């Protein structure tokens, strides 16, 4: 990282801090090479200018997902970016194609569920947010496309999450390449299930991690040519054997020891185990249990894992016997023996553990004791047995324990590999390397030396890969990179492994003590710059690794490098009676027994590492660097210094150094012009190409050493800072210009306000004076007006008084005259009304009496004729040969009689109602006349009294006037009229009395007729029952005839013709056989033929086809017909209607066995085989839904218990029974429909059929086909719009022309191009809608299709928005909002009938986009966001959008930090309450309706007017399909 050269006063920079590693601040003073910085924590720091790095003030608040996008690629920039992302729970970050994973120390299940796997499947690298799945997907796609094996290297220190990351990788690879296991378990499941076993025996608690892997693991997933997992293998490296005997506080030994001590009591008693504190190998540390881990449960889980892996119970018992034996072996202590340098078992306790160990290992106790305290030396002359002192005996004991445990672990690995099974034919594999990271402790021994040697080797491989990636980037952009130096660590590797002369080679030589070994190292490498000799130690040495200097203690190097099995130990365990223990120690080969027993762990590890590197070099590598954010293993704590050290150890900073050696800053042409276009605005105004514009800007700034590729600008280290400094200067000048203009504007605004105030004050004062003058003038004018009005008022009052008196006098006279005239007219009109009503009543009464008499006579005569006919029918019914003809006539007569009786009953009811109404009218008229007469008498009396008073009051001198004479005449005439009215009233009373008498007589006759009608109904019921019995007898006779016919067929050669003749006598009772019109029976030609066959069976001469052959022929015609597109009749599908009519006519629903249903289903299946033909699919969707609706409303299950016995009898009875039952149920509607000649067919069409099993099965199959066709149409539309949705989620970047003002035409064209993808989606929706409309698909199903499609659009857009940070921008929100407006317009155009609630399905993406485009987000509270802006979105989704949002248009910020903190608190509470924390939506691909929903939503289908196709119309066997004429 080059030193910055553009640090000036006011620059924002990073400086080193002893606590935070790096801290940001602002430069306020520069003194030579020293820079004074005011840090953000309020302190002042002074640093050399070479140790100060610029800070990108325009970096997004949520960081960048790929650190190669950082403007300043240096150590503090990388650390700050990781910190910002970790604060937002973004634990994954890219550095090129390297993934950095920071352990969150909490469960994040939403990041690893199946739905997240689906999102990353096939997605381009970098297209979605960084994720471990993306790395696995790239490896898998590279293996499939290029045919080359790949490897994924997972590294990091203990606690960084390597093991969990490896699990996630294997889960995803299993998801991509998994296959169904033949025997229940798949290969990938076995690999994943082996993890608990390896963790139990290879993991332990360390200072930094509760579940640290103490071995390296390389899992090979083998794939076949189809990309499916075909096998797997687990390779392990360098198990830390010394941990079995030596642990330090607060670490633990391997988990299996503690699990066995926590086993059930019977297991512990069996192995004679107790508290872990009682065992020497466990009580060296005070830590015995882990927080949140129940060892008893883990023991059971390990047992289950062993069962899954395939370890038998006998082998499990052997494993735990060995583990228990190691614990007991550690408790064997020694004391000095009687001889010099000898030892014996210390006490009885040690003797007990010795015996227990021998018992568990099933070996001889004395042999075990001798193997621990004695050594056998073989010389050419003799065999010497040498005793060991107590210290040597303890070393022998620990060596035996380590050897046994190491062999046990190797056996487990081999067993797992055998259980999983490897594919010898596999040519491709993906290896996942989970290996220990670089380690540097206070005291480092041989294990740390081997671990760091491994990491040096892997770092070299990593550096080569990074440099190769840089080369590929430069080559792709066609720039010169030949002078870039490659950072290599080959000198460190030579120091360690070079042969001869390397540390490992020296270690393999024979050394007496570790001091001599250390001295040899000092002499050999005294001039090596990577080897350092500490000043205060004689046995320590320091190596300068890529991650820093590490000091190793050579004290135990020689002992730990030895890997040999003591001959006594080998012989002892080989002779064990336990087959499992003996299998761990097979007898050595004869050649090896003669060779040296000593072998070097370092040499063996070097060979293993060499083999691993060869494997990695043969694969395409991918890197994941795991980082532990803190040492307390808690979430939300980010320790900068600790992470910087891990980044160094993981080689991330080394990769940055490689990038900085070339061109660390890379920007696309668009980004470069967008950021630095302000440095040369005249270039933007010109019509230049983007590449040329970038070149001109850089030339204008005078930069050297940069390069311009095909799509990007490559800047050397420091050049970005220089450009930013120039840009800051330009922006500062612009800011000062804006400030100057703003201040001018503010001053002028204040002056204008003062002047306006003065003018307003003057105008108010002048207005006040004018108001006073106006008030005076107004008062004078008011006084004059009051005087004028008062004088006018007095004059008008006098005039009105005179005028009122004259009018009152005139009014009285005119009123008296008008009342007299009105009274005369009213009386005259009342008399006329009374006369008219009376005459009307008389005429109507006479008419009703005549009508009633005629009806009574007709009913009596018809009843007599009907009874006579009934007797004749009964006589004729006894003849079996004429039974059918008599039955038809009888039904006709009974129907006629029934209708006449019903009509008579209705007429009688109407007559009674009319009589009651007439009587009420007469009584009302009589009452009204009485009231009128009384009123007339009262008026006459009043007028006489008034006349008498007027005469008495008149003066005697006044003579009689003509008026009085006239009044007297009127009175006389009125009196005469009253007399006549009284006479008419008497006559009306007489007529009413006569009407009452006639009504009484009519009621009596009506009661008699009702009694007769009841008798007739009873006779009808009896006749119906007798007809039913006759039908049953006929059915029995037909059954007997059928049996006789079958018997006759076996012996008679003419059986076929007999069968034919007999079958033609059976006539189905269906509406198509004949229609009743106006009481006459129309018999179809088929029925006539059948009747003629009944009457004259001997007249048949030609043999006829059997009924089965005829039915088969008809079925063939039907299948041939429906296999073609028959089209529609109106909006009704012809095929469905024809199928339904035929099945109903043939009674296919009521038979126990038939093939017609299967043939129809096969025809539909063959028609929809081509699933891309949406026209055919829509055609059959319409037909199947209509046919299913007809079946749903027709079929009922056998034995319906809801019907009453009477209803069941009526349903199974003949036509006569159905008609009579219908009449009882609805006499009015039934009678009218029968009289119109349509009642028979309608009743039969609406009847339900008791369906047999084939019909019910057909209905189920038709339902399944309907769902399949619906799902196929929906999925076809999904496939069509899916590629477009990927283009619709992110707006294409506008050209540079849109950056320049005044280009409205270009902006309009760009906007039109932006919504082209959305318009393509709308076109697809319109096309599918037109297809379904053309095929008359029910609107209910159309609504369901588009509702699910819009739900799919919502899920895809919303999930893509949350997974891709570049989509969560302001401008992209505007783009998506414009596209959603296109969809809304489509919904409006499609109408509610077809679109339905589809628009509401986009609620998630609509609210998310609405949040992106709102302004002033920092001012919004959490309550406003969750309750008003985005009520549908969960808190996890809001948190994701808020943290990923960035404004690329106006540079505004997301919501405030307080809102983010509150969201994080709510998310924590949700996780504690076991609420799902997934922020992604799931696509619902289920069928969103049932048969009942279709039946309720669709209208009833009238199939009576559907014309059959020509192929059927021409066939006489389908005559029932022809429409009937009224």
Residue ranges for the known binding site for ATP are: 156-163
Contacts with 348 (C-beta within 8 Å, 6 or more apart), sequence order: none
Residue 1470: both structure tokens together: 């949700």
Residue 1295: both structure tokens together: 């050209």
Cβ(456)–Cβ(493) under 8 Å? yes
Q: Which residue has the tokens 């698909």?
A: 1337
Residue 1260: both structure tokens together: 């189920």
Name which of 1251, 1263, 1253, 1250 is nearest 1161 in CA terms: 1263
Peptide bond just before 500 cis, omega within 30 deg: yes
Please confirm, yes or no, whether 159 is among the known catalytic residues. yes
Cβ(234)–Cβ(219) under 8 Å? yes
Catalytic residue among 89, 103, 158, 1186: 158
Q: Please, which residues bridge with residue 1082 across strands?
A: 1075
Please confirm, yes or no, whether 1074 is among the known catalytic residues. no
Please confirm, yes or no, whether 1057 is among the known catalytic residues. no
Tell me the Ramachandran region of residue 23: left when phi exceeds 0, alpha when psi lies from -120 to 50, beta otherwise.
beta
Residue 505: both structure tokens together: 């080679």
Please confirm, yes or no, whether 163 is among the known catalytic residues. yes
DSSP string, 568-612: HHHHHHHT-SSHHHHHHSPPPPHHHHHS-S--BHHHHHHHHHHHH
Residue 1412: both structure tokens together: 């992106």
Backbone φ and ψ for 497, nearest 5 degrees, come out as -115, 0
CA–CA distance from 755 to each of 669, 750, 762 (Å)? 53, 9, 11
Catalytic residue among 63, 96, 159, 1074: 159
Catalytic residue among 25, 96, 437, 502: 437
Catalytic residue among 439, 497, 654, 722: 439
Catalytic residue among 11, 89, 163, 1185: 163
Please confirm, yes or no, whether 158 is among the known catalytic residues. yes
**Residue 1374: HSE in the Cβ half-sphere, 13 Å Cα cutoff:** 11
Catalytic residue among 194, 213, 396, 1335: 213
Name which of 946, 992, 989 is nearest 971 in CA terms: 946
Secondary structure, 3-state, 267-308: HHHHHCCCCHHHCCCCCCCCCCCCCCCCHHHHHHHHHHHHHH
Q: Which residues are annotated as a binding site?
A: 156-163
Contacts with 1306 (C-beta within 8 Å, 6 or more apart), sequence order: 1295, 1297, 1298
In whole angstroms, give the CA distance from residue 823 to residue 829.
Answer: 10
DSSP string, 485-520: PPP--HHHHHHHH-TTTSHHHHHHS--SSHHHHHHH
CA–CA distance from 593 to each of 374, 599, 827 (Å)? 20, 13, 152
Catalytic residue among 149, 203, 206, 209: 209
DSSP string, 1411-1437: HHH-S-GGG--HHHIIIII-SSS-HHH
Please confirm, yes or no, whether 595 is among the known catalytic residues. no
Please confirm, yes or no, whether 212 is among the known catalytic residues. yes
Q: Are strands 620-627 and 150-155 parallel, antiparallel or unpaired?
A: parallel
Q: Are strands 1249-1250 and 1195-1196 parallel, antiparallel or unpaired?
A: parallel
In whole angstroms, give the CA distance from residue 309 to residue 303.
Answer: 10
In whole angstroms, give the CA distance from residue 1184 to residue 1135.
Answer: 9
Report helix, strand or coil for 211.
Answer: coil
Contacts with 56 (C-beta within 8 Å, 6 or more apart), sequence order: 70, 71, 72, 77, 724
Can you count the helices (H) and strands (E) in the chain?
50, 30
Number of Cβ within 10 Å of residue 1182's Cβ equals: 24
Cβ(459)–Cβ(465) under 8 Å? no
In whole angstroms, give the CA distance from residue 511 to residue 539.
Answer: 13
Q: Which residue has the tokens 């606590």?
A: 19
In whole angstroms, give the CA distance from residue 523 to residue 519.
Answer: 6
Please confirm, yes or no, whether 639 is among the known catalytic residues. no
Quick one: 1290 exposed, middle or buried, by C-beta within 10 A (0-12, 13-18, 19+)? middle
Catalytic residue among 212, 1163, 1183, 1426: 212
Burial per residue of 1243-1278, b for 16 or more beta-carbon CB atoms within 10 angstroms, e otherwise: beeeeebbbbebbbebbebbbebbbbbbebbbebbb
Question: Residues with catalytic annotation?
Answer: 158-159, 163, 209, 212-213, 437, 439
């Amino acid at each position: 990282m080059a030193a910055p050269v553009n640090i000036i006063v006011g620059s924002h920079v990073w400086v080193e801090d002893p606590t935070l590693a790096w801290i940001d601040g602002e430069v306020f003073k520069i003194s030579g090479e020293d820079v004074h910085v005011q840090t953000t924590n309020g302190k002042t720091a002074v640093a050399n200018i070479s140790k100060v790095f610029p800070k990108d003030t325009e970096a997004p608040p949520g960081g960048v997902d790929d650190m190669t996008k950082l403007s300043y690629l240096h150590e503090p920039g990388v650390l700050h970016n990781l910190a910002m992302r970790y604060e937002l729970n973004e634990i994954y970050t890219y550095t090129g194609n390297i993934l950095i994973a920071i352990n969150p120390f909490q469960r994040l299940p939403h990041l690893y569920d199946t739905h997240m796997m689906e999102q990353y499947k096939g997605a381009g690298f970098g297209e979605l947010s960084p994720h471990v799945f993306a790395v696995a997907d790239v490896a898998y796609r590279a293996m499939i496309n290029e045919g080359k094996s790949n490897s994924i290297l997972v590294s990091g220190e203990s606690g960084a999450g390597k093991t969990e990351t490896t699990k996630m990788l294997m889960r995803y690879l299993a998801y991509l390449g998994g296959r169904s296991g033949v025997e229940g378990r798949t290969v990938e499941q076995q690999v994943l299930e082996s993890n608990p076993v390896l963790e139990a025996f290879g993991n332990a608690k360390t200072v930094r991690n509760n579940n640290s892997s103490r071995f390296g693991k390389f899992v090979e997933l083998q794939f076949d040519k189809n990309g499916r997992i075909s096998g797997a293998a687990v390779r392990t490296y360098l198990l830390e054997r010394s941990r079995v005997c030596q642990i330090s506080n607060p670490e633990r030994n391997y988990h299996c020891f503690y699990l066995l001590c926590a086993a059930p009591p019977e297991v512990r008693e069996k192995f004679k185990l107790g508290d872990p504190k009682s065992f020497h190998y466990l009580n060296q540390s005070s830590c015995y249990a882990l927080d949140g881990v129940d060892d008893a449960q883990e023991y059971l889980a390990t047992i289950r894992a062993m069962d899954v892996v395939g370890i038998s119970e006998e082998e499990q018992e052997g494993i735990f016997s060995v583990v228990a034996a190691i614990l007991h072996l550690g408790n064997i202590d020694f004391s000095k023996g009687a001889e010099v340098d000898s030892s014996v078992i210390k006490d009885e306790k040690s003797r007990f553990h010795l015996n227990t160990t021998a018992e568990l290992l099933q070996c001889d106790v004395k042999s075990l004791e001798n193997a621990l305290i004695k050594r056998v030396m073989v010389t050419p002359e003799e065999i010497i047995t040498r005793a060991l002192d107590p210290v040597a005996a303890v070393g022998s004991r620990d060596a035996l324990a380590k050897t046994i445990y190491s062999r046990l672990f190797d056996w487990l690995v081999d067993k797992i590999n055998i259980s999983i099974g490897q594919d010898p034919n596999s040519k491709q594999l993906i290896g996942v390397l989970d290996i220990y990271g670089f380690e540097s402790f206070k005291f480092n021994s041989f294990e740390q030396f081997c671990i760091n040697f491994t990491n040096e080797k892997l770092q070299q491989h990593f550096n080569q890969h990074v440099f190769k990636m840089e080369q590929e980037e430069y080559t792709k952009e066609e720039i010169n990179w030949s002078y870039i130096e490659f950072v290599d660590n080959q000198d460190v590797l030579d120091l360690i492994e070079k042969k001869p002369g390397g540390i490992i080679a020296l270690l393999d030589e024979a050394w007496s003590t570790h001091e001599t070994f250390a001295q040899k190292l000092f002499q050999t490498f005294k001039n090596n710059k990577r080897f350092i000799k500490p000043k205060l130690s004689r046995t320590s040495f320091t190596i300068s690794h890529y991650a820093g200097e590490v000091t190793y203690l050579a004290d135990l190097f020689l002992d730990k490098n030895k890997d040999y099995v003591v001959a006594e130990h080998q012989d002892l365990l080989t002779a064990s009676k336990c087959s499992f223990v003996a299998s761990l120690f097979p007898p050595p080969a004869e050649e090896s027994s003669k060779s040296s027993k000593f072998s070097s762990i370092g040499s063996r590890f070097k060979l293993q590492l060499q083999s691993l590197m060869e494997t990695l070099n043969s694969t395409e590598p991918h890197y994941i660097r795991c980082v532990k954010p803190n040492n307390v293993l808690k979430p939300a704590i980010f320790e900068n210094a600790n992470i910087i050290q891990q980044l160094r150890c993981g080689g991330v900073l080394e990769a940055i150094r490689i990038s900085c050696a070339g061109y660390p800053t890379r920007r696309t042409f668009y980004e470069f012009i967008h950021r630095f276009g302000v440095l040369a605005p005249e270039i933007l105004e010109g019509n230049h190409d983007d590449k040329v514009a970038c070149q001109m800007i850089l030339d204008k700034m005078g930069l050297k050493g940069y390069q311009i590729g095909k799509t990007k600008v490559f800047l050397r280290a420091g050049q970005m800072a220089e450009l930013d400094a120039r840009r800051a200067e330009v922006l500062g000048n612009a800011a000062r210009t804006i400030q100057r203009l703003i201040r001018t504007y503010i001053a002028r605004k204040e002056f204008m306000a003062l002047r306006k105030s003065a003018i307003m004050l003057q105008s108010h004062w002048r207005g006040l004076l004018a108001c006073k003058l106006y008030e005076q003038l107004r008062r004078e004018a008011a006084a004059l007006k009051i005087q004028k009005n008062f004088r006018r008022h007095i004059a008008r009052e006098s005039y009105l008084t005179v005028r009122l008196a004259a009018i009152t006098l005139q009014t009285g006279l005119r009123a008296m005259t008008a009342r007299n005239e009105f009274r005369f007219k009213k009386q005259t009109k009342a008399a006329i009304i009374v006369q008219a009503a009376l005459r009307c009543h008389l005429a109507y009464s006479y008419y009703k009496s005549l009508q009633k008499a005629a009806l009574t006579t007709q009913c009596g005569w018809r009843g007599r004729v009907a009874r006579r006919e009934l007797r004749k029918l009964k006589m004729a019914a006894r003849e079996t040969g004429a039974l059918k003809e008599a039955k038809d006539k009888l039904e006709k007569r009974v129907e006629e009689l029934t209708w006449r009786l019903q009509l008579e009953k209705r007429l009688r009811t109407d007559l009674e109602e009319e009589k009651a109404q007439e009587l009420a009218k007469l009584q009302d008229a009589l009452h009204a006349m009485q009231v009128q007469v009384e009123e007339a008498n009262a008026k006459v009396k009043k007028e006489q009294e008034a006349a008498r008073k007027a005469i008495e009051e008149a003066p005697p001198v006044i003579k009689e006037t003509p008026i009085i004479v006239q009044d007297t005449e009127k009175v006389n005439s009125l009196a005469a009229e009253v007399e006549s009215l009284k006479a008419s009233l008497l006559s009306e009373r007489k007529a009413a009395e006569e009407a009452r008498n006639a009504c009484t007589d009519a009621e009596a006759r009506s009661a008699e007729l009702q009694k007769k009608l009841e008798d007739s109904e009873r006779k009808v019921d009896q006749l119906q029952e007798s007809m039913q019995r006759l039908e049953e007898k006929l059915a029995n006779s037909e059954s007997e005839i059928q049996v006789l016919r079958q018997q006759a067929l076996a012996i008679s050669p003419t059986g076929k013709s007999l069968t034919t003749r007999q079958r033609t006598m059976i006539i189905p009772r269906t509406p198509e056989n004949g229609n009743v019109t106006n009481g006459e029976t129309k018999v179809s030609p088929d029925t006539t033929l059948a009747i003629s066959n009944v009457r004259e069976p001997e007249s048949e001469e030609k043999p006829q086809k059997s009924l089965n052959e005829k039915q088969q022929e008809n079925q063939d015609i039907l299948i041939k017909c429906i296999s073609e597109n028959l089209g529609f009749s109106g909006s009704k599908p012809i095929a469905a209607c024809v199928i339904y009519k035929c099945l109903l006519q043939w009674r296919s629903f009521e038979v126990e066995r038939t093939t017609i249903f299967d043939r129809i289903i096969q025809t539909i299946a063959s028609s929809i085989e081509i699933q891309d033909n949406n026209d055919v699919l829509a055609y059959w969707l319409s037909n199947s839904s209509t046919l299913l609706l007809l079946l749903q409303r027709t079929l009922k299950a056998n034995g319906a218990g809801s019907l009453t016995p009477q209803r069941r009898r009526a349903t199974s009875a003949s036509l006569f029974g159905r008609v009579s039952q219908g009449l009882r149920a609805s006499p009015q509607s039934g009678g009218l429909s029968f009289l119109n000649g349509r009642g028979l067919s309608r009743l039969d069409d609406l009847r339900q059929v008791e369906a047999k099993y084939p019909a019910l099965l057909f209905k189920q199959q038709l339902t399944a086909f309907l769902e399949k066709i619906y799902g196929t149409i929906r999925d076809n539309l999904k496939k069509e719009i899916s590629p477009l949705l990927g283009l619709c989620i992110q707006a294409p970047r506008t050209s540079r022309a849109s950056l320049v003002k005044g280009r409205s035409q270009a902006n309009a064209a760009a906007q039109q191009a932006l919504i082209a993808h959305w318009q393509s989606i709308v076109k697809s929706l319109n096309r599918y809608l037109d297809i379904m409309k053309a095929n008359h698909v029910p609107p209910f199903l159309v609504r369901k299709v588009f509702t699910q499609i819009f739900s799919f659009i919502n899920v895809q857009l919303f999930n893509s928005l949350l997974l891709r940070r570049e989509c969560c921008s302001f401008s992209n929100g505007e783009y998506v909002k414009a596209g959603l407006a296109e969809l809304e317009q489509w919904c409006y155009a499609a109408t509610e009938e077809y679109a339905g609630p589809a628009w509401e399905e986009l609620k998630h993406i609509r609210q998310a986009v609405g949040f992106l485009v709102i302004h002033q987000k920092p001012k919004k509270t959490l309550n406003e966001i969750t309750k008003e802006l985005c009520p549908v979105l969960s808190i996890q989704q809001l948190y994701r959008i808020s943290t990923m949002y960035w404004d690329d248009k106006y540079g505004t910020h997301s919501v405030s930090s307080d809102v983010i903190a509150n969201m994080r608190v709510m998310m924590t509470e949700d996780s504690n309450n076991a609420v799902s924390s997934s922020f992604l939506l799931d696509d619902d691909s289920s069928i969103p309706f049932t048969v009942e929903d279709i039946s309720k939503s669709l209208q009833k289908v009238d199939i009576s007017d559907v014309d059959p196709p020509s192929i059927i119309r021409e066939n006489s066997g389908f005559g029932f399909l022809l429409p009937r004429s009224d």
